[in-house]
Each structure stands twice: as C-alpha cells, then as structure tokens.
Structure 1
C-alpha cells in the first residue's frame, strides 16, 4: 500500500471521513464475515466449543471474552466490560447463553471455563436450561491446581521455599548474579513456564542441572571475598547449596511433579486435541508418582488424594471418558476398555444427554454403532 501511494505521488487524495467510516468499514466487515463462513459451516458439521476468558485491564476493569473453537481453529466472538457484575454466576450464564443462541444451540458441544466458583455456579444454571451442553473446566487450570496443592504438602513446600529463597538472593544483587552467571557460563537459573507453577518447576530443574557449579561458586575464594557472604541471607544460601538433604529434596520434587508437568504441557499445546488423552494420562501420572515414591502408600496417598479431589467432576466427566473410549490410541492397544463398567455406563449417560428424547437413536448408538 505504501509503495502504491509513493508511486502516485504527494497529490494522492486521502479517503474522506465518510468513506473510512462507512464505505471501507462496511467492505472490511463483509470481508471478515466471508472469512468466517467456513468456520460456521464446520460448527454445523462437527460442533464447536465456546471458551470464556475473564481478565482485568490496566484500569482494573473486568473484561470477559468469548471465543469459539472448532476443528478449523479458534475465532473471537465477543467481549464485554462489566466490572460491577463480572463475578456473578448469573451474569456469566446470561452472557454465555447469548453466545449459544448466536452460534446455534444445536452446534455447541461444550462450554470451557476455569474452575472459579462463579463459573461453577454458571455451569449449574446452564445445565438446568440446556442439559445437552456440557460445561467443562480448563484442563490447564485444573492440573495447575493439582500441582499447587501438592506443593503445599510440608515435605515439598520446605524444599520449594528454600529454592525460592536461594534464587531470590542470587538475583537480588548484581554481584551475586554476575558471579552465578560466571560459574554457570552465562546460563540463568530462573526459567519462564506456561504457568506460575511450571516456572517454579523449571527453576527447580535448572537448579538441579547447575548443582555442581553452584557448589563451586559458594566454596570459591570469590564468594569468601563477597560482602554478601557475611549477611544472614548469604549464610542461609550457603547452607542451602551445601546441604545434601536439600538436593535430595529437589530430586524428589522433580520426580513427583514431572509426570503432571509433562501432562500440563500436553494439554496446553495446540498441536492436537487433548481431551481423548486426559483420563489415561492422569492415571499414568499417578502410577509414575507411585513409583517415584517407592510405592510407599504413606508417601504417595496424600499426593493422589489431591489429584483425585481436583480431578473430580472436572477431568473425569462423561465427555472425557467417552473421548477416552473412542480414542483408537487406547482402544486398539487394550480392548478391555470396553469391559470397564464405569466407562461403558458413561457412554450410555452421554448418549442420553445428547439425544434425550430419541430413545431409538440412543439404543442404536449403544447396541449397534459402539460395538462397530
């Protein structure tokens, strides 16, 4: 465009205010509408998911966005600013309901939100009005809650607190930071992740990788000469790095958290739909955690209790279990899935939810289509 303007010269007449606000704006709206047509056709064919995202801007105004996701990708649908009502379940429900009507109730498979209590309240209201639409929790948020809950157990909290204090001390002073980078060959300890806890996990991992260099740093002449080595926090950092039990604790934390962090990365990625993998991956993570803790029930049971509590009615819904059953990756490797009463009962329940009035179709799906 700029090249075309330059070729025309300085005498090019600019568009009028009317043309910008009416003619060109309408053309752009029409162009955007045409771009969305394939998405809307996809909604009719394979259904779609409505996703909500609430956040606050710099002026602390509460904003809620609604997006629609389908096989073709995600599109933005609408946004509303409602600081006075944003945290009320009724307001969330009404806003989502308006979106469902716009998209078409027959096209909507599920609503996806985080686990906030207001969203759970809105889910109950929606279930009463539209029982055929499933309200699902963000898998990423749920797994993060699991990790945070486990991290609060005294055994792991103590290690994480020490690691955080060590990291904060090193990064709080130019001298200690430069010293650390010198010993680690300019490699940092702090590493950003997709969530706050993922960042904490990556930092623990980074500390473990640089264990030898950090020990060298805190036993070096350079550290002895550093003025911060004589401070209370400096002595605490020194004791932490040279404490064998601390590094044993770091290794244990990594073993326990790693299966869930790997799972978190999977559900947070866009390279494939993850719902059909969630149920099995959770069970696999639990087995890995058991093994990491030497199959000692006293050690692993508090961890599994937290996972079970956070998972319940969030990542084990009838939609999750049905997607798990219909996932060829699992079914063709283990046909015994079909004999799992819990899973097969969920299929019957979901079919009854989606086609509440058509008993003949329900029977056909369960007795004919499912075995095929």
Structure 2
C-alpha cells in the first residue's frame, strides 16, 4: 500500500498510484479529488499491529496490516493525515486483507481458548488444529469464487470500454485533422489535463462559447501566466537579466522584433514590436533599447543581445574606442578579471575576423531557414533550389592556409608587406571561390604545405589550451614545425 509520510497538522498529503505525492495546505472534500482523478477512490491509510495470542509480543513476530478506510464522496479530507488514491483492484486487496486480519485474530483467540481448555480437561490439541485448518480452507475457497466472479465482470467491462474509447478517439482525431493541428500537440501535458477533466465531469458538459474563449477565459489564463512569471521576475533583481531582440521579416516584408528577457530562471517573452515603419538607424535602435531598459529596470539589465551581427561588425571601431576611453579606464570594471578579458577580446583582430567568417558561413543557411519557417508555404522545388544555391555559396568559403610560404605579393592572397609573408593565424583564412583553383596551383608550384580548415581548427584549440594554462586567451605557436605537428595530429 506504500509508506505513510510524516506530516504536520497543517498539511494534507495525497499519494497517487504512480508514486507522485501532492501536498495541500487546506482541507478539501473527497469528491473534489475524485473529479480530478476519475476511476479512483480516496482512502485513508491506517497501519495496525495484530498478534495471534496475548503472549505473542514476547515470543512471536507481530503481524502488521495496512488497512484501507474508504471515504464517501461527502467526506472531508482532514489536515495532518495521509490519504491515497486507490483503484478497484486495490480496494479488493484492502478488503481481503482486512477480512483476513479479522479471521486471523478470531482464529487466534479461538485456538488460544481451545488450547487452554485442552490443558484443563485433557483434550487432544490435534482436534483444535484440524478445525482451524478446515475453517481456513473454507474461507479461501469462498474468496477464490468471489475473485473469479469479479474478474469475469471486469473482462466484460473492458470489452465495453474498448468500443467507447475507440469512439472517443475517432472524434478527437477528426477534430485534429479538420483543424490542421500539428501531431506533436498530442504530447502536450495540457491536452492530457483537458481530457482528464472532461472525463471527470462526465456527461452533459457545456461547451465554452466564442465569447468565453476570447473573453473571460483568456483573462483568467493571462492572470495564471502572470503568476508563473512573477517568481522569474524576482530573480532579475538578484542576479540580473539579459534583453534579447530577435527580428524577422515575413513574405509581405513586414518586420517584427520579438523582445525576450533571459535569466537564471529561464527566458520570458515580453512583447513583439511592429517595426515595419521602423528606420534601423543607430538613434532609433538606441531609443528602442533605452525604452526597454527603462521598462524592465536599468538596475536589472546586465547586457543586450541582438541578431544584427552586421551592424555590430560595422560598429567595431566605436566599440574599440569605448574600451580605450578614459571613462572605461577609470571604471572599476576595467580592473576586474572579466573586464580585462572583455577588453582583450574586443581589441583582438582575430576576434573580428572570426565575426566576418561566421556571417559569411551562416548567411546562406539562415536564408534557407527563413524560407522553411515563413508564413507562406513554398513548394519543395523552391526549397531544394535554395538549398543548392546555399551549397554553392557555402563552398565559396573553403579555407586554405599556408605555412612557411615567403614570396612576393600575389593577387588574391592576404599578403603582409611588413613581414614579407602571407598572413598566418587560425582566424586569418585564405578564401577560394568555386571554379577558381589559381590559389591552390600557386601554393603547389611553390612547394608550400597547405593545411585545410580542420587542421587550423586543431591549431586554434591548441593555442587556446596553452593560453589557458597561463591565464591568457591564447598563446601563438611561433614556429612552423609546431604548427605542422599540431595540424597533422
């Protein structure tokens, strides 16, 4: 039956058959629990200890029985007690255990009396044992017959339920297909809650009207959602939050900006902004961000994230000048470890070259994704065509790098006139476009060792690893021998 958990006088515990435990801090009626859990009964768990004789506590093992006290629909569930939801099968088991305990106690008392009579009158003890075993056999035979009758009734009920369940499933599926709902919505926990609530109500459930759905019910759901969001908003004042802006344009060229706030407790959708007539200039963007920061709380916001990567790259010089300004130098954050790390990243040339690389690589993929998730459902032919174009564009960013190549300036190569050498570095790629093999031919003619992009990825990881050992962002590999050794691992 399960173990009763210790509760105080102000707590009500409901144990479910699947092991889940619900705690309430106010008394409820058994009918309310049964409505939420159709097909179950509410029972109070009572644990008793029985003995076969008066002397049993000293020399025999006690018989512990967990009894089920079924409650009526009108009974109230009291605080400080533990209740359990039981099925019909568990009820039968509980009743059988209760009856068996009474029989055990009754037979034990009768046996004790017969034994005492035998001691006084000198009668045989075998007669008493024989009568006890005969009574037990008769009782077991009666219980077995009742069990068979009960199983027959349950099988008949299951046959009837199968037809009814199939009928209900048919109407649910028909509604699903007519409304064009995604199939994965069947896994939503809210759909399961809806079906269980309808089944608990029973027949003649009034259907909500259009006014109810778009009016009172919507207002109540909004209040419920606000109650879920309040604990997350409290986290903003403790650990701060991040404002995230996600802009997108539909097939009608309407621009929408989604505003989200992220914190340790999760991400919250705040609102959507119609930016169709919104001019994307630095002043307008600053005005928008300033209003959002004021709305959420300037003391809560620690950073702002947007999807406008190109604009960020265009503001590279302004961002660098911010970290070299007197205001930043005099700020206490500039002396902090994280502040120094941020300054080092922004001032690094490879960081901005990596930004350019990410924009070039991800742009064709994002264009395909926008076609797939757009409001207008395009034919698969258009999708395949966009994918092929993305492949061609993506192939234009195959990177080749050379190690140990010194020569004169060659058209198309990132030549460093100061060092009289081709630029080297894990984030300084040499790009080749489809059908243009001149770069590779030039490198081969000079007997230059070419390292593909995955090899330079290994070099990048090794430089970062060595830098982390010395509390630096990276440590450059100085010699060509080291570069080749790491790239060819």
TM range (shorter): 0.3 to 0.5
- Normalized against structure 1, the TM-score is what? 0.39
Whichever structure has more helix as a proportion of its residues is 1
Whichever structure has more strand as a proportion of its residues is 2
- Normalized against structure 2, the TM-score is what? 0.31
Larger RCO: 1 or 2 (CA < 8 Å, sep 6+): 1
